[in-house]
């Protein structure tokens, strides 16, 4: 695998910082430079030895992009798009991001680079309900999927290098185009995140739930609810950007989910369901789950 | 605590069998007798040493209920109601169940016993996505909530004994009446189970998800989806009974969930959301989650 001399991770949040630690653990970069938003994050990053050199965004303004041979944007999608506009057109290194939606990023890249370029978009499907570099883990990407998306005019050598880069820290790579990516992720990540966030608000809005919860020192939930609510409300800024960059798919998927709720509510209200209606529904769910998670039945 | 001489666990599924193992581990019963449906489960139960004596339902028909000083029904709600009708009116021991809804069970108990009786209903909020005694665990109830519900004419001494019984295997007890229980559990367990089951079907119904999932050797999901789908479709028989015994609350809660989806879909469609709409929504979710799960913010 190509080894990088000076990697820039622009945005040392949970994802960017975990990438830095993963690379350091495997000795895959000679030097890693990180950019953070605040002075406070910079101090925290230095204390936790997240990168070899850390700049705040302001401090980084004087720096040249050309000193790096790999640039990774670890930012919300909207900010990633803004930064892409600042890149030098003749940048000779590899460029990527960690964005959770692809359509906007790929559009910006294709508008920016009208001839051959070194940008390939990445979506490592790892994360946590926690936010910030203090929760970074050096094994966050191990055995996790990383989806690679090629803009027009991409450089084939760079694609191979980036694929190897992710595989070298233990990720499993797959390629999808931007439209496929955004549609598939709508169902497997974006809208589930919204549903988990609805779940906790909806439950806590119930007066009885609120009264009983507030008056008892322990949570009234079992493991099912706890699992379903794990990602609820996590990283509002990142998710705001995801939702706003994938609206059309999300609206469509919400409608479908609502239709499915309607169907089941009507079934319950009708009072004349087939005897095995629910058993069949749940058996079907079990099968769908096994298919999606690749479990043996 | 009162120690029981001969406990009957009628229904050695995951829950009943785990109760038996928990009691054995702590030496809290002189003898435990179990009842299972099939000969196959009986052999499995003997092999795994789940109880001291195991009958099939058919074999148990000749047995007297009066030989036991504690009877626990580990059955789906509808079958629990059927068995309650068979109990002798003058039964001197303690009787309980592990039912996930209370209204039907309490009604049957109150109709059956018009004077003082020893029945208190229990709902240990523990479980697993797995079904059957082979998945039983001797620590399933440790640090888990157990909700106790008193029918009319219950015996106060029995209530205290049963509370101590659950606490002796590590559970945290709380008391709720049947109507409170069924309403609170609608939001924290029953409808979330349905939503998780909808989630996997809805996702796998999408053609692109199906195509990409089926053609790739690894699952395309991140941890969020995996967590949210854990309970999808588990134990169809038990959940069929839960849903059918708590229809009214579940219908109401599904309508509310649908309304919340509507609100968010409209917000997305309108295209003129407040700038911070989603950040506020997710921050609110985060707060609801912390309240429900009793997390420190």
Is pTM beyond 0.90? Reply is yes
Q: Please give the Cα distance from A201 to A231 (Å, whole number).
A: 13
Nearest CA of chain B to the CA of A159: how many Å?
Answer: 19
State whether B278 and A239 contact (CB < 8 Å): yes
Question: H or E segment at B35?
Answer: strand B29-36
- Cite the DSSP H helix spans in chain B: 14-25, 39-47, 57-60, 77-84, 103-112, 156-168, 178-185, 191-205, 207-214, 223-228, 236-244, 247-270, 277-293
B265 touches chain A (CB under 8 A): yes
Other residues' Cβ atoms within 10 Å of the Cβ of residue A64: 7
A160-202 pLDDT tens trace:
999 999 999 999 999 999 999 999 999 999 999 999 999 999 9
- Which chain A residues have a beta carbon less than 8 Å from that of B212? 176, 180, 184
- Three-state secondary structure call for residue B220: coil
B160 touches chain A (CB under 8 A): no
Please give the Cα distance from A72 to A11 (Å, whole number): 8
Compute CA distances B249 → A140, A143, A267, B184, B256, whole Å: 41, 41, 14, 9, 11
Whether complex ipTM tops 0.90: yes
Contacts of A265 in chain B (CB under 8 A): 251, 254-255, 258
What's the confidence (pLDDT) of residue B205?
A: 98
Query: Class of the B181-293 domain?
Result: mainly alpha
B228·A224 Cβ contact <8 A:
no
A232–B289 C-beta distance less than 8 A: yes
**A contact test, residue of B144, B181, B222 with most A CBs within 10 A:** B222
Of A127, A144, A286, the CB nearest to B233: A286
Domain boundaries along the sequence of chain B: 4-177, 181-293
B182-221: per-residue pLDDT in tens? 999 999 999 999 999 999 999 999 999 999 999 999 999 9
Q: Out of A204, A212, A251, name the one closest to residue B288 (CB).
A: A204
Kindly state which CATH superfamily the domain B4-177 is placed in: NAD(P)-binding Rossmann-like Domain (3.40.50.720)
The correct answer on CATH 3.40.50.720 for the domain covering A4-176 is yes
CB contact under 8 A, B172 and A218: yes
Higher local confidence (pLDDT), A1 or A107: A107
**Which chain B positions have a beta carbon within 8 Å of A267's beta carbon?**
none
Question: Looking at the complex, does the CB of residue B167 fall below 8 Å from at least one CB of chain A?
Answer: no
pLDDT at B28: 92
- pLDDT by residue (tens digit) across B212-255? 999 999 999 999 999 999 999 888 988 998 999 999 999 999 99
Calculate how close chain B gets to A44, using CA atoms only, in Å.
20
Which residue, chain included where needed, has tokens 């058996």? Answer: A283
Is B222 an 8 Å CB contact of chain A? yes
Least Cα separation, residue A197 to chain B (angstroms): 5
Residue B53 φ/ψ, nearest 5 degrees: -145, 140
Digit-coded pLDDT (tens) for A9-67: 999 999 999 999 999 999 999 999 999 999 999 999 999 999 999 999 999 999 999 99
């Amino acid at each position: 695998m190509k080894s990088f001399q000076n990697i820039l991770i622009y945005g040392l949040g949970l994802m960017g910082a975990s990438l830095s630690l993963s690379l350091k653990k495997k000795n895959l970069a000679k030097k890693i430079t990180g950019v953070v938003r605040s002075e406070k994050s910079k101090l925290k990053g230095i204390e936790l030895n997240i990168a070899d050199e850390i700049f705040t965004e302001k401090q980084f303004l004087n720096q040249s992009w050309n000193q790096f041979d790999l640039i990774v944007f670890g930012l919300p999608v909207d900010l990633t798009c803004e930064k892409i506009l600042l890149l030098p057109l003749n940048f000779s290194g590899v460029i990527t991001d960690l964005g959770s939606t692809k359509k906007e990023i790929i559009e910006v890249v294709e508008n920016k680079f009208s001839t051959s370029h070194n940008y390939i978009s990445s979506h490592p499907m790892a994360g946590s309900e926690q936010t910030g570099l203090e929760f970074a883990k050096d094994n966050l990407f191990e055995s996790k999927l990383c989806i690679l998306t090629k803009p027009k005019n991409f450089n084939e050598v760079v694609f191979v290098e980036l694929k190897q880069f992710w595989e070298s820290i233990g990720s499993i790579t797959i390629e999808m185009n931007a439209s496929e990516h955004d549609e598939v992720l709508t169902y497997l990540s974006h809208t589930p995140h919204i549903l988990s966030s609805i779940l906790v608000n909806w439950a806590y809005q119930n007066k009885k739930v609120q009264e009983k919860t507030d008056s008892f020192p322990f949570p009234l939930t079992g493991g099912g609810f706890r699992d379903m609510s794990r990602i609820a409300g996590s990283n509002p800024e990142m998710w705001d950007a995801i939702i706003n960059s994938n609206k059309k798919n999300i609206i469509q998927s919400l409608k479908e989910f609502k239709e499915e709720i309607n169907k089941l509510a009507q079934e319950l209200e009708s009072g004349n369901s087939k005897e095995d209606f629910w058993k069949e529904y749940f058996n079907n769910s079990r099968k769908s789950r096994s298919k999606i998670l690749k479990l043996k039945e």
